[in-house]
Every structure is written in C-alpha cells, then in structure tokens.
Chains A and B, each alone.
Chain A
Amino acid sequence: MPVDMLDILRKYVFTEASLFLLICSSNGRITDSNPYTKQLLGFDPLNYKINDLFLDFTHVVEPRKIFKEIPEDKLFNIKTFTGLPQSLYFRFFDLGSLFLIVGRSDPREQENMRKEIIELNNNLNSLTRQLHKQNSELAKLNKLKDQFLSMAAHDLRNPSGVILNIAEILKENLSAQLTEEDAYLWDRMQKNALFMSQIINDFLDVSLIQAGQLSLRYSSCSIADLLRDNVRQHQIMAETSGLKLSLELPPENIIISCDISKIEQVLNNLLGNAIEHTEKGGDILVKLTADAEHLTITVRDTGMGISPDKIKEIFDFYSKDRKKLSVKKSSGLGLAISQKIIAAHQGKIWVESVVDKGSTFSFSIPLNK
C-alpha cells in the first residue's frame, strides 16, 4: 500500500471510522481516544482507567494483568452513553509502554437486532390495533346487552305491577275463605312478587344509569323529616330483628333541594343492608350533620363489617361480592345504584368498616343545589 494511502487510512481510522479506539499507558490510564469512542461512551475517557469503562474488569487496574496480547477478537462489554452495556469484539495490542485497544461491532448482530426491533414494533402496533378493534366490538355488544336488559326490565315491570295489584285485591276478597296454610302461601307469593318487582326496578335503574339517562326531579324538602319517615318505616323491621335503631338530628331544620324518591331509595338501601348484616342485640344509628356547604348522612351499624379487599369494589355494579354485601332478597345492585344517585346529586358516598365491629356508610350532598 502506498505510504500516502496508509497515512490517509490512519487519519481516517483515528478521526472518523466507526471503530472503538483507546490508547492507554501500561498502568491502565487512558491517554487518547477517537471521536467514535467518545460518542459511544458519552464522555472523553482521557485520564480514566480502563476498568472504569469495561464492565468485565471492575477491580483490576494493571492492563497486563487483565489481558495479554490477544491475537483474535474477544467479546467484552463497555458502558455507553445510554446507560446500557454494549458488547464489542476487542483486540488488545501490547506496544510496551502503551496499549492499543480496538473494538468493533458485528454487522450481523446489529442487523439482526434492528430487524428484531422493527418486528417487535410492528407486532406491538398490530396487537394494539387488534385490541382497539376488539374493544370496540365488545363495547357494541355491551351496548346491545344494556338495550336488551332495559327492554326486558321495561316490559316486565307492568305485568309484575299487575300481578301485585291483583294479588292484593284477591287477598282482600278471599281473606275470609283462606285457611291458615293458604294465607301463608299467599303471603309468600306476594313477598316474592314484590321482590321480583324490586329487582326489575333495579335493572331499570341500572340500564338508565348505563345509558347515561338517570335524571333527577329536584324538589325542596326537610331532610330531617325525610330521615324521620325513613327510620320510622324501618323501625318494625329492626325491632323484629332485635336491633336498636336510633336517629340523631341537629337542632336546625335543614331544607335541601334533591330528588326525594331517589334519596329515599339510597336510605332504604343503606338501612336495609345495616339491618340485614347486624346481629340481634346490635345498634344502628342514623345521623345527620351539616356544615356551610354540605350535609352528611351516616348509617352506622355494629354488624359483621366488611373486609378491606371487598370495600374497594363495594360500589361497583360488577362486584363479585355485591350479593353477599346486600340484603338477601335483592338484586345486590343497591349500593352501586346508590353511588350513581349520589354522584348525580354532585355528592359522594363512602364506607368505613372494621370486620366484626361494624360499618359506617356515609353520603354527603351539596346544600346549594
């Protein structure tokens, strides 16, 4: 090779070529490097020790102790600017007072890696697309299911109402002729028809909520009166279960604007659950408090309580334990429906509970609605 060409090549290798080049003294201190090396490391290695750069030699500083002259390429790992290690094929030349360290990458490895990244990226995008497509199909199916549920509940509501009415009329007309056994069976039939009617109403509520069509009919009411009525209605049920049900009200009369029937629905649900899950001899306290902006109603019982893992999804429509946490004769959707009703009032509902000590369900709604 002509001398000029060698000079050009030498200059090129030291200034521009994609070769990792280090020159270090016999004690392992780096005295020079080329631009490619600086770029790959992310800093100028001048005066660093070689074991600062090689992941494979972290404890040894004497180059001759690390490697003798290696006539063939050997794989070592260096630190790079990304923080990720890079494997290069190295050759070490012992020049007496200096060492020349040359590293190169394998083009096949680089190409394979590039291909792998492209394939991974492509696969990820294809899968993401598939996921979006399936999600959209599931959303459409879910909507169809909601529509079916709504239609079924709507169609069942009228006949179930008619059954309840006729059962009541017939009971009045035939009461004198019914034996004790017949009266018992009649009573069971009526209770079950009422239970069915309540479930249908829950399904209707759920379908309205899912369709975003839950509408509130606001009117003014005394919240204390509402609570007194509701507690009175539940008093017999509580006494039958051997429970003490009490109400605590603030001295001032608070007038709020709300959908009265919906708030009653929430109270019925909370009180019904409290009575169902509190053992004989227990206490249930309904308490009203208010500040300048909100009123808060709490229903505290001394019942079985709810474990922390179940509390997380207690207001979820699809909670696995919704049936266990509700009154036996119900759809188990009451708490989820209550949560949506309170949210529609711009309020919030929450629960605090200790297993075997009891639960306190609370909801608050703004006063200035």
Chain B
Amino acid sequence: MVSKISEEIFTSFQKDLLAGDRRQCSMLVEKLLSGKIDVRDLYLNLFQRAMYNIGRLWEYNKISVAVEHLATSITLQMLNLVYPVLFSAEKKNKSAVIACVANEYHQLGSQMVSDIFELNGWNGYYLGSNTPLDDLLKYVDTKKPDILGLSIAIYFNMQNLWKTVEVVRREFPGLFILVGGQAFLWGGREITTEFSDVHYAAGFEDLENLIRQQEN
C-alpha cells in the first residue's frame, strides 16, 4: 500500500497537534477522508506515528504532559471523523471486546485497536479507559466475544493487567486474550507464556495477522 501521507502532511498535522489546533487538524483529516484515504494509512502513518513521536517528546521532557494530553484528546476526536466510513463496512459474525485495564487512562491506542477490528469486519466493542474488572467480566459474559483485547500504556499498570488476565483466564478458560500497548516496550511480554491463549500484538500488522488467524 502506497501511503497518501506525505512527509509534508505528517509534519503539518504533528505541528497542529502540538499547537493544540483542533480546527486545523480536523480540516486536514477531513480533506484526507474526502480524498478516500485508506483508514489503515490514516491510523498507521498519521495518527499513530504522530502520537508515538509526541509520546517520545514527553518522555524526553521536551513537552509537558498537558501538551501531550491535548494532542491525545484532539487525535481521539479525529477518530470520530473516520467513524462514518469505518462502521459502514460489511460485518462478519465475529466480535472483540477491547478495554483499558483499571487505572489505565490512555485510551487512544485501544480505541484504535477496536477500530481495526471494525475495519476487518468484526464488531469491535470498546469499553473505554479505566475499566473496572467486574464490569469487564460482566460485559464479556454478555457479549461472548471471540477476542478480548486489553491495553496498557503505562508500565506501572502491568500488575493490574496480570491480575485482570488471571481472573479472566479463570472465568473464561477458552477465551482468546490479546494484550498490547506502549507499556510492553518496558517488559511484561512473559504474560503470554504465563497464561494460556494470551497473545501479544506489537502493532497493527501483528494485530491484523492475529485477527486473520482467528477467522480461519
């Protein structure tokens, strides 16, 4: 796939994100959508790339957390612009429930993961950030998804993830559990060997491969 996101478009979007200019960001995304850009291209080469960069700027103390929050908030709103295209796709009889574990407030990545499920014709049910374990268990019991996706962005929430996976594994022994998020850059991947049927997706490509595996 040849990306429609040129370096110029990317730089301009990132600059507007850092400046907190929601209007300019919306205009750019709307223009790309009216040019029938592939949603994957938009997610991967614009939203994800820009937010990874901004995350690094925050980690290296080049920008404040307030600037990072504002950029995240704007990007979340950009996803809303994509939804009329995203949800109109034909559906397969497959579903995934995606959530951030308790105390995890970074929801952009996990919301994008839910959208990737939709893009692949799955029903991507998104529970949002800071999902209490009891609520998660009830929802999984109601929806009976093919995949449960759990996301963490901050490493100190890793313990919550382990606890969540442990309980979910006990309550729903056969459920395919997907884990991912920026926190795994700091470790924690051994969760996939500690529990059965727990899989780690490092990025969109991994995620789509796992989705295809589950379809077959």
Taking beta carbons and an 8 Å cutoff, which residues of A are in contact with B?
114-115, 118-119, 121-123, 125-126, 128-130, 132-133, 135-137, 139
Contact = CB atoms under 8 A, between A and B. Distances in A.
B126 A129 contact: yes
A132 B87 contact: yes
Interface residues of B, number: 21
Given A119-B129, A136-B88, A129 B80 contact: yes
A130 to B, nearest CB: 7
B87 A126 contact: no
Contact of A119 (B79, B83, B111, B130): B130
Contacts of A132: 80, 83-84, 86-87
Interface string B77-107: 1011001101110000000000000000101
B105 A126 contact: no
Contacts of B126: 126, 129-130
Ordered nearest first, which 8 A-B pairs have the shortest CB separation?
A: A136-B87, A132-B83, A126-B128, A122-B129, A125-B76, A122-B107, A118-B105, A128-B80
Given A128-B80, A129-B114, A123 B128 contact: yes
Contacts of A133: 83, 87, 118
Given A125-B80, A126-B129, A128-B80, 12 more contacts: A114-B69, A118-B129, A121-B76, A122-B105, A122-B107, A122-B129, A122-B130, A126-B107, A126-B127, A132-B84, A133-B118, A135-B87
Contacts of A129: 79-80, 83, 111, 114, 126
Q: Which of A115, A129, A135 has the most CB of B within 10 A?
A: A129
Contacts of A139: 88
B182 interface: no
B73 interface: yes
Contacts, number: 54
A122 to B, nearest CB: 4
A132 B128 CA distance: 15
Interface in B169-209: none
Nearest to B76: A125
A123 to B, nearest CB: 6
A136 B118 CA distance: 12
Nearest to A127: B128
A207 B23 CA distance: 39
Contacts of A119: 105, 129-130
B88 to A, nearest CB: 6
B201 to A, nearest CB: 20
Contact of B111 (A115, A118, A126, A135): A126
A16 to B, nearest CB: 16
A82 to B, nearest CB: 14
Contacts of A123: 128
Interface string B127-157: 1111000000000000000000000000000
B146 to A, nearest CB: 17
A342 B84 CA distance: 30
A144 to B, nearest CB: 13
Contacts of B88: 136, 139
A126 B98 CA distance: 11
Contacts of B107: 122, 125-126
Nearest to A123: B128
A137 B79 CA distance: 18
A238 to B, nearest CB: 50
Interface string B52-88: 0000000000000000010001001101100110111
A125 B130 contact: no
Contacts of B87: 132-133, 135-137
9 contacts: A121-B73, A122-B105, A122-B128, A122-B130, A125-B77, A125-B107, A128-B83, A130-B126, A136-B88
B79 A125 contact: yes
A115 B106 CA distance: 11
Contacts of A135: 87
A44 B82 CA distance: 45
Contacts of B130: 119, 122
Nearest to B73: A121
B73 to A, nearest CB: 5
A135 B128 CA distance: 19
B69 A118 contact: yes
Contacts of B79: 125, 129
B117 to A, nearest CB: 11
Nearest to A115: B105
A50 B16 CA distance: 39
Nearest to B66: A114
Nearest to A139: B88
A216 B127 CA distance: 48
Nearest to B80: A128
B111 A125 contact: yes
Contacts of B118: 133
Contacts of B76: 121-122, 125
A60 B130 CA distance: 48
A159 B88 CA distance: 37
B94 to A, nearest CB: 15
A171 B138 CA distance: 67
Nearest to A129: B126
